[in-house]
Amino acid sequence: MDVYKITGENRLQGTIKVSGAKNSAVALIPASILANSPVTIGGIPEISDAWTLKALLEEIGGEVTFVDGKMVIDPTQMVDLPLPNGNVKKLRASYYLMGAMLGRFKKAVIGLPGGCFLGPRPIDQHIKGFEALGAKITNEHGAIYLRAEELIGAKIYLDIASVGATINIMLAAVLAKGRTVIENAAKEPEIIDVATLLTNMGAKIKGAGTSVIRIDGVEELHGTEHTIIPDRIEAATFMVMAAAVGDGITIDNVIPLHLEAIIAKLREMGVKIEVGEESIFVPKTDLSTLQAVDVKTLVYPGFPTDIQQPLSVLMTQASGSSKVTDTIYTARFKHIDELRRMNANARVEGNTAMITGPSKLEGSTVTATDLRAGAALVLAGLLAEGETEIQEIYHIERGYSALIEKLRDLGADIRRETTMASTVDTQE
């Protein structure tokens, strides 16, 4: 079993570069299926999700190279092979293969997707969109079967502003006949990124980044070159880390506009932040002046659910009681039990976590239950006295590229080790 071992209380300093956006990459790679010639995507993070998607495209006949963050995908020989299990189960975003394969082949068989367990994350809105475009969808033996004679543009109202459903319907609609209108569409920057790639491939899309997206179907899409946007969640994770253990850290390759909710909340806590054009500098923070805050997660441009877990670590150092209410994923508080092992004063009531500080965190053996919980535990380990061992790190490596190297360059004492598998006692 591979684990991270962190010796805490080292101050970090220097510049850390943000990788391309995970949540863009996992949609841009499947989008390449829709082209009739090679697609080149630059800036893809070297994360396990990207390698899994590469393998899935190769399974259906794609030729794919992935070197130094650049993925070149030749989709010309792809066929509509069923993908009932195997790699599909490794990541939730494999559902984008549904929209892309339905758009290109008018049929697909995709196993129910995997990924982090964060409570109910139904794909009913995706299915509703596909059905509106004319597809027949059945669930047979744990796989989703999608079939359409042809896809015809439709007006689709999303009951919730789901990023996944918005992107998936876009993928299916770009080659459909006529106009598709997605109402109550999600507005996340990753949606604009996918729309930009599709537009460069010849799609006709208006309104990405607003609540109404209009798509006029085209006959075919061609290959193109595209560079992914920076990962705003990784950038925000590093900002929280800089506030907690930094002696002056520059976070490079960011789009500050994407980080406004996080910048505002950190400033409310008492963190100083200097915003440049494509970088953010966080000077040394005096933890004794940190103030407790209340956070409520919302869809973009609100405070991202992905950052409440790392931020909760900083809250353990603030004076007073902080409150985190997660309106997006109710099961996103598994890190609280792990932080309590490290001496945090925290509890969960329903969809709210209460964190009272300041607490002196102590090194312990903890488990990353999901991707962002893992990021939170890395931050806690950097802050804590003594050594922290983090288990089940594959969750972290699904979304953070070269994390150990990046942190060591700043002066962190963190290493990856293979240990004999042992179970952590999870009794309270």
Q: HSE of 164 in the Cβ direction (CA atoms, 13 Å)?
A: 18
Alpha helices, H only, 246-356: 260-269, 305-315, 334-341
Return d(Cα 193, Cα 21) in angstroms, integer.
Answer: 10
Contact criterion met (CB below 8 Å) for 375 and 309: yes
Question: For residue 427, what pLDDT band results from cuts at 50, 70 and 90?
Answer: very low
Residue 256: is the preceding peptide bond cis (ω within 30°)?
no
Question: For residue 418, what pLDDT band results from cuts at 50, 70 and 90?
Answer: very high
Q: In degrees, to the nearest 5, what angle opens at C-alpha 382 toward C-alphas 376 and 385?
A: 120
- Starting at the earlier edge strand, list the strands of the sheet with 39-42: 63-67, 70-74, 39-42, 225-227
Which residue's structure tokens are 């998936």? 168
Binding residues for UDP-N-acetyl-alpha-D-glucosamine: 92, 121-125, 306, 328
Q: HSE of 44 in the Cβ direction (CA atoms, 13 Å)?
A: 29
Q: Which two tokens stand for residue 323?
A: 């409150």
The residues near 139 (Cβ < 8 Å, ≥ 6 apart) are 145
For the annotated catalytic residues, the residue numbers are 116
Binding residues for phosphoenolpyruvate: 22-23
Mean pLDDT of the chain: 95
pTM of whole model > 0.85? yes
Return d(Cα 95, Cα 80) in angstroms, integer.
Answer: 15
Amino acid identity, position 89: K
Q: Is residue 421 over pLDDT 70? A: no
- Starting at the earlier edge strand, list the strands of the sheet with 12-17: 12-17, 246-252, 279-282, 274-275
Return d(Cα 399, Cα 209) in angstroms, integer.
Answer: 23
Amino acid identity, position 284: K
> Among 93-102, 116-125, 271-280, 315-324, which stretch is predicted with the lowest mean pLDDT?
116-125
Say what the pLDDT of residue 58 is: 98
Q: In degrees, to the nearest 5, what angle opens at C-alpha 230 toward C-alphas 57 and 268?
A: 135
Residue 113: is the preceding peptide bond cis (ω within 30°)?
no
Distances (CA, A) of 328 to 161, 297, 303, 422: 11, 7, 11, 33
For the residues 27-56, what does the mean pLDDT come to? 97
Amino acid identity, position 321: S
pLDDT in tens, 355-410: 999 999 999 999 999 999 999 999 999 999 999 999 999 999 999 999 999 999 99
Helix, strand, coil content of the chain in percent (nearest 5) = 35, 30, 35
Integer-rounded Cα Rg, in Å, for the chain is: 22
Q: Is residue 141 over pLDDT 50? A: yes
Return d(Cα 428, Cα 361) in angstroms, integer.
Answer: 18
> What is the widest separation between alpha-carbon atoms in the chain?
65
Q: Is residue 425 over pLDDT 70? A: no
Say what the pLDDT of residue 85 is: 85
Binding residues: 22-23, 92, 121-125, 306, 328
